[in-house]
Structure 1
Amino acid sequence: MPKAVRMADIAQKIGVSTVTVSKALADKDGVSDEIRAKIKETAQQMGYQQTSSTHKSRQGGTGNIGILVAARFVDAGSNSFYWELYEKVVSRLLGSDYYGILELLQEETEQGLVLPRVLQDNKIDGLVVIGQISDDYRRMLQEKMLVPTVFLDAYDSCGTGCSVISDGYYGMYAVTNYVLSMGHRDIHFVGTINATSSISDRYFGYCRAMTEHGIAVTPEMVLPDRDEHGDIRFSLPEKFPTAYVCNCDITAYKLIDQLKERGLSVPEDISIAGFDNYSVPYISAPDITTYAVDMAGMARACVDALLHQIHHKHTTAGMKIISGHLVVRSSVKNRSI
């Protein structure tokens, strides 16, 4: 049986984005008449079946997927990592002939346990929740379970529902082991441990590496990096370690800036390692050693798991862990030589 033609196949043949193909086939604005005609002609030649308006509607579906992100993670560009992750999810959805509808979860909505608008309006076939939300809000969503749901880059301690996360535990274990291999022993962790499940995982990975090298981790070796609203800010101690491992790259870059204000340079005076492999272009700093999170792999696993739930109603939920890899750069000084 021949493989079904996807929007992504049409986009690759013409040399445009999948978003452009989606808009053209749906007769939406943002595409020139010439490109629209070319896309439709190519789609017909390739035997593309427009399932979003026919097949899905016969099954009672909408062809839409809700994407819920807590506003505190994206307000004022505070964490563009999630914007990039969101874009990869949308791209994967479009390649599967679904549209993503973004809703920012406001603090009052979360605290009041109010359902997202995309669920209230019954306009979606499934829901992707990106990033950490409160336990009460997550429990409310899971108890109601109005549509199949996947939690991306977060999970709960009960392990209920379907989650896709990066390998924060072994990722930070690898980062810390690398810093240790460079001759450092006085290594501190930067991150508010209980702020998110991702930070907790990374902290425990750091602890494992330190413990295996006979180094006991004390509370003084942890530098919190964010307040109750999720805003990244911290107060530097009077005495510094030889190295810091940070729960994310944004924290690492902000730490480098504060160290500069103290007259310290990286890696000459203090070594820094991060996590995510997410560059911050507006900050001038050395390239940091980090752990590259496979965002494309996470988005792919998330969308595939969600669509499987949509088409197979009694699918057993579970957690998927997507591994990344260590990226060695110039921010960690070798103290062994």
Structure 2
Amino acid sequence: MAKLVRLKDIADRIGVSTVTVSKALSGQKGMSEELRNKINVLADEMGYVPSVSRKMGNTVKSYTLGVLISEAFMSEYSSFYNRMHQQVSQIAMDKGCFTMLEVVSAENEKKKVLPRIISDNKVDGVIVIGRLSEDYLNMIKEESNTPMIYLDFCNHSGDEDAVVSDSYHGAYVLTNHLFNMGHRYIGFVGTILASGTITDRYLGYTKSLLEHGHPFVRDWIIPDRDLKTGEMDYDRFFVLPEDMPSAFVCTCDLTASMMIKRLRENGYKVPEDVSVVGYDNYLFPGLCDLKLTTFGVDSYEMGRNAVINLIRKISGERYRQGVTIIEGHMIEGESVKRIDP
């Protein structure tokens, strides 16, 4: 029997990602015609059979899954969500499904414009990655019957299906680690209430403080982004307090890299003078020359749960309803120094 040719086999031969191969074979935009033709020719030569055809031969339904991401999460350095989108696309393809991405602009979100992939009935279900406003998501629910799964956020409305990382526990573990390394004066960098994940990480941080008998100091809670838009702004935020703590828990690795930059601009060395921890274990290359101590998020497992739950939800099968929490683990780097208590 001839070996089954996978998208990965084609991608490895031509030196591109599996997502690029998928887009080329399905006629999606985002590449030159030369590359598209090269991929299609190679696929024919290798005898590639689309996964949809294979699945349909086994009488298994194939679906088109929509992916919605706010434009606020698609900036040059927001690579965590780019990676998550790529992983969702790959997992969907492995299940015999295709994905269609739509980036939701701030204007369309504010005006409550229904996403085109939904209004044009192009998708069977939707995964929302990152965060969109509760009002906007409620509008989608009211104007369509499209099944949805939220990925990496939830609004705790009681009737939503979501897959999130254990932000509360992760920040709690990181703060405990700082205490174990001798730190007693610990700040938090992140705009509280800007998103559910940031707030959960703040609450995990405060739990650790309270358990160690160190209530938080208001001046040590440092915003990193706009509360309404969620846009990170180095010039407006990251303002250091006059009375400095010895360590900071940051809401993500990107925030941690910017905080390290701000500390160095003000004459502090990391970790010699101030220790810093991040969250996500994912940072755009070149943004930080230190290996961060951080909390690793299993984004692949999160994406896998979201895709499987959505497929089952679309098909009317039993699936895990409500909020699914995926555990992570702490990763020690070079950004924390042990000090004498």
Indicate the percent of aligned positions where both proteins have the same amino acid: 36
Q: Structure 2 CA distance, aligned partners of 1:248 and 1:6?
A: 40
- Residues 114-172 of structure 1, C-alpha deviation per residue, up to 9 Å, x if partnerless? 11010010010110101111111122223344221100011012232210001101011
- Asked if the contact 2:125–2:147 (Cα under 8 Å) also holds between the matched residues in 1, the reply is yes
- Asked if the contact 1:6–1:48 (Cα under 8 Å) also holds between the matched residues in 2, the reply is no
* TM-score in terms of structure 2 length: 0.86
Q: How many positions carry a matched residue from both structures? A: 323
- Residues 69-113 of structure 1, C-alpha deviation per residue, up to 9 Å, x if partnerless? 0001113x1412111111111111111121111111111111111
Q: Which residue is 2:285 aligned to?
A: 281
Q: Is residue 2:37 matched to residue 1:38? A: no
| Structure 1 residue matching 2:291: 3-state secondary structure | coil
In structure 2, what residue type is equivalent to 1:183? Answer: G
| Structure 2 residue matching 1:100: 3-state secondary structure | strand
Report deviation, 1:39.
Answer: 3.2
Q: Which residue is 2:196 aligned to?
A: 197
Q: Which residue is 1:272 aligned to?
A: 276
- Asked if the contact 1:19–1:94 (Cα under 8 Å) also holds between the matched residues in 2, the reply is no
Q: Structure 1 CA distance, aligned partners of 2:4 and 2:311?
A: 15
- Asked if the contact 1:7–1:96 (Cα under 8 Å) also holds between the matched residues in 2, the reply is no
Q: Is residue 2:66 matched to residue 1:66? A: yes
Q: How does 1:1-337 map to 2 (within 5 A)?
A: 11=8, 18-19=18-19, 22=22, 29-40=37-48, 43=49, 49-51=53-55, 63-75=63-75, 77-227=76-226, 228-232=228-232, 233=234, 234=237, 235-312=239-316, 317-336=321-340
Q: Structure 1 residues 179, 120: closer, same or farther in 2, change over 3 A?
A: same
Report deviation, 1:21.
Answer: 6.5
Q: Structure 2 CA distance, aligned partners of 1:24 and 1:110?
A: 30
Q: Structure 1 CA distance, aligned partners of 2:282 and 2:4?
A: 30
Which moves more between the two structures, 89-98 or 268-277?
89-98
- Asked if the contact 1:23–1:30 (Cα under 8 Å) also holds between the matched residues in 2, the reply is no
Report deviation, 1:239.
Answer: 2.3
Report deviation, 1:238.
Answer: 2.1
Which structure 1 segments of 5+ residues have no match? none
| Structure 2 residue matching 1:50: 3-state secondary structure | helix
Which structure 2 segments of 5+ residues have no match? 28-35
* TM-score in terms of structure 1 length: 0.87
In structure 2, what residue type is equivalent to 1:252? Answer: A
Q: Structure 2 CA distance, aligned partners of 1:264 and 1:313?
A: 56
| Structure 2 residue matching 1:211: 3-state secondary structure | helix
- Asked if the contact 1:6–1:97 (Cα under 8 Å) also holds between the matched residues in 2, the reply is no
The alignment's C-alpha RMSD in Å is: 2.8
Which moves more between the two structures, 16-25 or 234-243?
16-25
Report deviation, 1:236.
Answer: 1.8
Q: Structure 1 residues 207, 14: closer, same or farther in 2, change over 3 A?
A: closer
- Asked if the contact 2:11–2:18 (Cα under 8 Å) also holds between the matched residues in 1, the reply is no
Report deviation, 1:55.
Answer: 5.4
Q: Structure 1 residues 21, 107: closer, same or farther in 2, change over 3 A?
A: closer
Report deviation, 1:311.
Answer: 1.4
